[in-house]
Amino acid sequence: MKILESGETSEEMEPGEETEWLEFTEINVPSGKLIIFDPLVSEGIHDGLIIEVPAGTFQLWVKDMMTESGSIFSRLRIVLPGKEPSLGKVLGTTCTDVAMTGVCDDGALAPYRGNYSEWEKIQDEIFDVSQYGIVTLDQTSRTTLPVISSGSSDGTFPVRELTSDSTRVGAEVEFAAPDKSPPEGYTSDELIDQLKEMGVDSRRIREV
């Protein structure tokens, strides 16, 4: 099954149903620090959620979910190749004001921190992305920034650990849950209260 564009329909799916995992792309994380962030706000490259992972190449997978008005992206998975991970604890949250989420090696953003004029050039390319796409950060090293629309709305979304044999092998972002109808972004207050009840360190929760 191919990745559906936002609003596209499928006769094989009913509202609330999700697809299987669909392959999107892959990224290299040589620093061992994965950042999930809003790439279209100026603060995004500074305050994204940073997750420590094994250094290496990660595969990105997505799930589409059908709604009454068409498909949306419900989940984004970043995982080491060949792993069949288990969904673990909540690591924190990621938020967006423009319904777009980016994922890359945190070290790849270092040249742009403090050099906002260069980051604006990257943002111009991101604005040209409709629902999902890949922006090149460095031609020489072929460093890329995959971006994807965050479900049906702006909001704050939980990021959960992916583990295999008790070892962290990636992370998963939940933009929309199948039992939410219609799916919407979590409000900050609702999600923050939920995460605090689960024992997540309040310093890891992004408040918007």
pTM score > 0.75 for this model? yes
Query: Tens digits of per-residue pLDDT, 58-86?
Result: 999 999 888 877 788 999 999 999 999 99
Long-range contacts of 30-35 (CB under 8 A, 24+ apart): 30/55, 30/105, 30/107, 31/55, 31/105, 31/106, 31/107, 33/105, 33/106, 33/107, 34/58, 34/78, 34/103, 34/104, 34/105, 34/106, 34/170, 34/171, 35/103, 35/104, 35/105, 35/106, 35/109
pLDDT of residue 47: 85
Give the pLDDT confidence of 86-106 residue by residue, as tens digits.
999 999 999 888 889 999 999
Contact in structure between 14 and 35 (CB atoms under 8 Å): no
Could you report the per-residue pLDDT of 144-198, keeping only the tens digit for each?
999 999 876 788 999 999 999 999 999 999 998 765 543 344 444 454 455 455 5
Q: State the pLDDT at residue 179.
A: 58
The pair of three-digit structure tokens given for residue 43, joined into one six-digit string:
């603060």
- The more confidently predicted of residues 57 and 70 is 57
